[in-house]
Structure 1
Amino acid sequence: MADEAEDKRAGGLVPLSAFTSALVAALVGFGSTVAINVQAAQAMGGSLADISSSITALCLGIAIAGSGLSLFFRMPIVLAWSTPGAALIAASTLSPGWPVAIGAFVFAATLMVLLGFIPALGRLAARIPSSIAAAMLAGVLLPFCLNLFRTLQSDLLVAVTLLLVFVVVRQRLPIYAMLIVLVVAVGIVIGRGDASGLSSSSLFGMLEWTTPEFDPRAIISLGVPLFLVTLVSQNLPGLVVLSSAGYKPRPEPILLTTGLLWLVLAPFGAHSTNLAAITAAICTGEDAHPDKQRRWVVGIIYSGFYVLLALFSAPLIGLFMTMRPETIAAIAGIALLGPLTNAVVNMVAVPEDREAAVLTFAATASGVALFGIGSAFWGLVVGFIALGARALLAKRRSAV
């Protein structure tokens, strides 16, 4: 009886691995891609206060929704921001201004809420060819990866150093590669004195309301592609990660909860709140917690670390604001090499869709803007037209 009571007490303790796994996941998720979020806000005309508010809102959305879902499902529901979504925003050539960008975020969040409310919309979204969505994503990510190598001309030291660190560490510690790259980049920045202008006036994160402005061109160019990219490249893979770990949550409550938090926080600059994929794998396995039934506490701890990141986000953002554009471009390019690889693989996975996917990829990567609407939308249009033409011709041939 004494042994049984001791086992129960031990079972109630949270193992150290739960804290370390959650901390590593939070640091990897935040540190590896925060530079892209800074780029995205800058591309939309955001001020320093807007950027700080955006990062704070993103972290709060991850913390609040993640902890609530983990408690509700009793599963380690790990959330993140949409890195491909941030890349999509940063790649936009529209420069609509911050209030108009906020309007596009609100629209994309509304679509995600509707997806959670109406199961029929979920089934319709599931019918979107994955090859076309992946091709659009690859077209969005390609320019960032190309900019990595363009920095060889303007800042050889940073580009070569960070690329070599990434390639070497990726062979041994792939999960931590981007975190180590970021640490090296910060070391170079401090060593060269680039951080000398870092402002210390603000220590804590902040939230700043921006009244949304709804512009049809921004909604079509940013809102719709942002919704699709977040759904296809974040939420769906996130559900797969949970499933592979032995968890089968209903997707509708997750989409609804993350969509509602996104909608509430969008006026403060949050461009997404969604399931994580890579960082989720750190928190959902036996290494995080040996007891599958109690592993949900890892999701709570992970959310707690994001509360801390939200609280002290201001100095972190200030550090990135002092970096040279070439340094930011190199960090972002390396961070997106993995997502680009996955997107290209998925783009060509279905042989009969390859031609349409390549057309989508080329149109998106071109950066063309017609009638004030960006290339991500036109890439989708070209891809769907190619698929429709193929289906129509196949139907006519079968009728002859």
Structure 2
Amino acid sequence: MRLLRQNGSLSLVRYNGQMLRCLYAITHEVTMRLFSIPPPTLLAGFLAVLIGYASSAAIIWQAAIVAGATTAQISGWMTALGLAMGVSTLTLTLWYRVPVLTAWSTPGAALLVTGLQGLTLNEAIGVFIVTNALIVLCGITGLFARLMRIIPHSLAAAMLAGILLRFGLQAFASLDGQFTLCGSMLLVWLATKAVAPRYAVIAAMIIGIVIVIAQGDVVTTDVVFKPVLPTYITPDFSFAHSLSVALPLFLVTMASQNAPGIAAMKAAGYSAPVSPLIVFTGLLALVFSPFGVYSVGIAAITAAICQSPEAHPDKDQRWLAAAVAGIFYLLAGLFGSEVYWQ
């Protein structure tokens, strides 16, 4: 009996030693992977989040104001959205090892600016819950996945090109009011693109920061980094509002957000099961709906940044850019009060 106890203790020591070595190996690998991410990959993830927020966050504020949300509640909405997008991006990207970037639905937010007029805040939350429940149902039934399978690769690429064309042309429209800034960034980007393509975006961003600081356009007054907890809002359901607002929001999110997002993945040469993506993002948005998350879908424009060769020359390593974006999403969510300003 004593020998068995000794052998058992010895086996336990060996087991604990092997487990500690295994944990050390995993921790060491993750740490080395984190610190070995190339600067262009880090920048791609950061820019994806920055562009997503800078281009459409104001539309969400307008929708929240129309719904009657207070300043604290709007800050809570931004916190909940950032956390939902961060968790979904990191989970899907790390699980599939594919650059899956999620985002709020900008067309959906634009629809809410007019659709929420006349609704109470509680009724708006009810609309969000119904919308996200429909998205989950669409993913579970596999209807959306079957639709995306019959779309040819060329048509998917054309859908993405149509979205990116309008986005790119808008950059030239800003030359009228910010000629020095936009012109300098464009010239630096073109020059760097010819000699060091992967660092073209970094060079353009650096020159842009320098010019903005030189012009005195950086505002740092009254900036206090303070996390804000999302506020739970009791939903109020209405069949009429479900038909007039929730159903259109569902259709807009699927057609203008998820469909281009899946098309962007296909155009970049990546494949991931469509239905699980839709179900997971829909469920996460459904859980966060009472806190102001109206939708979380598959990103298209910002995802293209993480899926491009500029993010990483190795196609199988570009998921790192999306993972970085997920971390920046979480940071943006933690400081939702600073994302929203009056």
TM-score, normalization by structure 1: 0.60
Is contact 1:66-1:78 (8 Å) kept? yes
Aligned equivalent of 2:127: 104
Gaps of 5+ in 2: 1-28, 160-172, 190-200
In the alignment, structure 1 residue 57 sits paired with structure 2 residue 70: no
The structure that has the greater radius of gyration is 2
Higher RCO, Cα 8 Å, sep 6+: 2
What displacement does 1:205 show? 2.9
- Verify: 1:273 aligned to 2:296, yes or no: yes
Q: Secondary structure at the match of 2:293?
A: coil
From 332, 335, 338, the counterpart of 1:309 = 332
State the partner residue of 1:243.
266
d(CA) in 2 for partners of 1:43 and 1:274? 23
Judge conservation of contact 1:206–1:314 (CA < 8 Å) in 2. no
Work out whether residues 204 and 312 of structure 1, in 8 Å CA contact, stay in contact via their aligned partners in 2. Answer: yes
Distance in 1 between residues matched to 2:338 and 2:116, nearest whole Å: 29
> Structure 1: which 5+ residue stretches go unaligned?
1-7, 135-159, 322-400
Structure 2 Cα separation of the partners of residues 311 and 121 of structure 1: 33
Asked whether the equivalents of residues 122 and 234 of structure 2 are also in contact (C-alpha less than 8 Å), the reply is: yes
Structure 1's 115 and 84: CA in aligned 2 closer, same or farther, altered over 3 A? same
| Aligned-partner Cα distance in 1 for 2:274–2:257 | 13
User: In the TM superposition, what is the alpha-carbon distance from 1:312 to its structure 2 partner?
Assistant: 1.3
- The reply on whether 1:71 has 2:94 as its aligned counterpart is yes
Tell me how far apart the structure 1 counterparts of residues 140 and 181 of structure 2 sit (CA, whole Å): 46
Native 8 Å contact 1:114 1:121 kept in 2: no
Separation in structure 2 between the aligned mates of residue 311 and residue 163 of structure 1, nearest angstrom: 35
- Opposite residue 34 of structure 1, the aligned amino acid is A
Per the alignment, residue 177 of structure 2 pairs with 164
2:18 maps to: none
Tell me what 1:227 maps to: 250
Tell me the C-alpha RMSD between the 2 structures: 3.5
For residue 279 of structure 2, what is the amino acid of its counterpart?
L
3-state SS in 1 of match to 2:177? helix
Q: Which amino acid is 1:91 matched to?
A: T
CA distance in 1, matches of 2:285, 2:42: 26
> After superposition, what is the alpha-carbon deviation per residue over 1:53-82, rounded to whole angstroms, capped at 9, x for unaligned?
111111111100111100111101011111
Report the Cα distance in structure 1 between the residues aligned to 2:147 and 2:271, rounded to whole angstroms.
Answer: 21
- Other structure's SS at 2:311 match: coil
Partner of 1:40: 63
Amino acid at match of 2:99: P
**Cα distance 1:286–1:161, how it changes in 2: closer, same or farther (>3 A)?**
closer
Cα distance in 2 for partners of 1:38, 1:267 equals 16
Quick one: distance in 1 between partners of 2:127 and 2:226? 30
Aligned-pair CA distance for 1:93: 5.9
| 1:168 CA displacement | 8.8
Which secondary structure does the structure 1 equivalent of 2:276 belong to?
helix
Which letter maps to 1:43?
Answer: V
CA separation in 1, counterparts of 2:149 and 2:252? 13
Per-residue displacement from partner, 1:141-184 (whole Å, max 9, x unpaired)?
xxxxxxxxxxxxxxxxxxx98963499949948x999xx8xx98
C-alpha distance in structure 1 between counterparts of 2:287 and 2:179, whole Å: 37
- Paired with 1:49 and 1:162, the residues of 2 have a C-alpha distance of 36
Cα 1:47–1:286 change in 2 (3 A) is: same
How far apart, CA to CA, are the structure 1 residues paired with 2:121 and 2:176?
33
